[in-house]
């Protein structure tokens, strides 16, 4: 009989963009795989890829009534489906789903840490709240997996879990998919024209949800300042608007910074290699990360990266080797790093070459998939290998 695993994420974007390749690999290895997330427009694409999805409303914020409803629905779902493994993601929904799995008697409950919600800049109150929630999640789970090494150490230091209850998972991408040599120059030129990017423009890219936490205010301010001395600079922003969030932004914010004519918003794109192919530099000035995909993907595409010197980014970017790290929320530092790369095409090329090498060495998704398979096999007492 096929071992049955359910992956739970807050929203459909997690299943579609972060986990889909992993879920399909699990199927290929002999697992029955299903997903659970809040209703969303991407569920159809996930199911078209062969992964059934059950919608259950969940929220990132703490909403006691909604959380209780989610808990009850998840308990009923797990009791009905009787999976061998429930694998949860995201901090607060992960807690609710892990608790539901334990209440439903699921044999194995695993939670992946995609970056603790507390960090260097958190207030004492925020830190206490999120550490407390993380401890509950850990107690409801048989095992924690961390996408970065810093959180593995933090979990033990903050007494979130015992050292033997957390393992390093890492993160990875499809290196065959993110490969600059596969791009067609004519198609890239047509795409550039379609997006309204001038042929001579130097393109700084940004990839991520339009929320302040991703550092867009700092980036827009830096580009505004750079434009005074570098008139060919344009900004390509790839990611969805999240106007409903407290720190959500819209494309109109570029106008507020006076750079509307040089910022190109694309929304969600499914041709990410082509998007990176248009970029001369990727800027990733995020305030908080677990292990961000954009710098990994950019590195694989030989695009030099300027990123915040924070957890997660530090595991991808080696300062002065495949990119530059700058102080978080520091517009002047971000501007200076971008100006350095704008003025030094040879340095950009060198960072790009080393970025591809580092991606090949560290961020091949097949390594992550094998770690997940090994973890499942150990927990289920099986021996399953990635073909």
87: tokens are: 């694998």
In CATH, which superfamily holds the domain spanning 180-362?
Glycogen Phosphorylase B; (3.40.50.2000)
pTM: 0.92
What pLDDT score was predicted for residue 121? Answer: 75
**Type and span of the H or E element at 149:** helix 149-157
> What is the C-alpha separation between 260 and 257, in angstroms, rounded?
8
pLDDT tens for the chain, residues 1 to 387: 799 999 999 999 999 999 999 999 999 999 999 999 999 999 999 999 999 999 999 998 888 999 999 999 999 999 999 999 999 998 888 999 999 999 999 999 999 999 998 877 788 998 999 999 999 999 999 999 999 999 999 999 999 999 999 999 999 999 999 999 999 999 999 999 999 999 999 999 999 999 999 999 999 999 999 999 999 999 999 999 987 778 899 999 999 999 999 999 999 999 999 999 999 999 999 999 999 999 999 999 999 999 999 999 999 999 999 999 999 999 999 999 999 999 999 999 999 999 999 999 999 999 999 999 999 999 998 544 444
What pLDDT score was predicted for residue 52? Answer: 99
What pLDDT score was predicted for residue 213? Answer: 95
> What is the C-alpha separation between 102 and 361, in angstroms, rounded?
37
Q: Quick one: how far is CA 186 from the chain centroid?
A: 30
Per domain, the residue ranges of the chain are 4-172+364-380, 180-362
Class of the domain covering 4-172+364-380:
alpha beta
Provide CB contacts within 8 A for 278, sequence distance 6+.
188, 191, 192, 195, 197, 203, 205, 236
CB atoms within 10 A of CB 184: 11
Closest listed residue to residue 358, CA positions, set 310, 323, 322, 306: 322
Q: What is the dihedral of CA 65, 67, 72, 78, to 10 degrees?
A: 170
Provide CB contacts within 8 A for 98, sequence distance 6+.
86, 88, 109, 111, 137, 140, 141
β-bridge partners, 305:
282, 323
What pLDDT score was predicted for residue 382? Answer: 53
- 4-172+364-380 shares its CATH topology with 180-362: yes
């Amino acid at each position: 009989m096929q071992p049955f695993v359910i992956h739970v994420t807050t929203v459909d974007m997690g299943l579609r963009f972060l986990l889909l390749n992993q879920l399909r690999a699990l199927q290929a290895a002999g697992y029955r795989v299903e997903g659970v997330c809040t209703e969303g427009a991407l569920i159809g694409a996930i199911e078209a890829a062969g992964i059934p999805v059950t919608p259950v409303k969940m929220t990132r914020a703490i909403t006691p009534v909604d959380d209780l409803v989610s808990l009850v629905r998840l308990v009923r779902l797990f009791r009905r489906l009787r999976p061998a493994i429930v694998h949860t993601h995201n901090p607060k929904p992960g807690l609710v789903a892990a608790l539901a799995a334990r209440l439903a008697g699921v044999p194995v409950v695993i939670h992946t840490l995609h970056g603790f919600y507390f960090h260097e800049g958190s207030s004492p109150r925020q830190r206490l709240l999120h550490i407390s929630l993380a401890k509950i999640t850990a107690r409801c789970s048989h095992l924690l997996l961390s996408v970065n090494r810093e959180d593995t150490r933090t979990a033990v230091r903050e007494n979130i879990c015992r050292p033997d209850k957390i393992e390093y998972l890492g993160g990875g991408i499809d290196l065959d998919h993110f490969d600059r040599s596969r791009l067609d120059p004519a198609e890239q030129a047509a795409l550039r024209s379609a997006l309204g990017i001038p042929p001579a423009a130097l393109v700084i890219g940004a990839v991520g949800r339009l929320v302040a936490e991703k550092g867009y205010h700092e980036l827009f301010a830096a580009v505004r300042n750079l434009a005074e001395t570098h008139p060919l600079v344009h900004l390509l922003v790839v990611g969805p608007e999240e106007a409903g969030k407290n720190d959500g932004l819209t494309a109109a914010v570029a106008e507020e910074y006076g750079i509307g004519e040089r910022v190109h918003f694309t929304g969600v794109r499914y041709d990410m290699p082509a998007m990176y192919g248009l970029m001369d530099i990727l800027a990733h000035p995020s305030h908080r990360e677990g292990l961000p995909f954009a710098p990994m993907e950019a590195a694989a595409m030989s695009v030099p990266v300027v990123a915040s010197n924070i957890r997660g980014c530090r595991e991808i970017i080696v300062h002065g080797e495949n990119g530059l790290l700058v102080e978080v929320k520091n517009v002047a530092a971000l501007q200076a790093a971008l100006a350095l790369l704008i003025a030094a095409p040879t340095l950009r090329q060198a960072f790009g070459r080393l970025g591809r090498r580092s991606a090949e060495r560290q961020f091949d998704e097949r390594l992550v998939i094998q770690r997940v398979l090994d973890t499942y096999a150990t927990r289920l007492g099986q021996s399953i290998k990635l073909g």
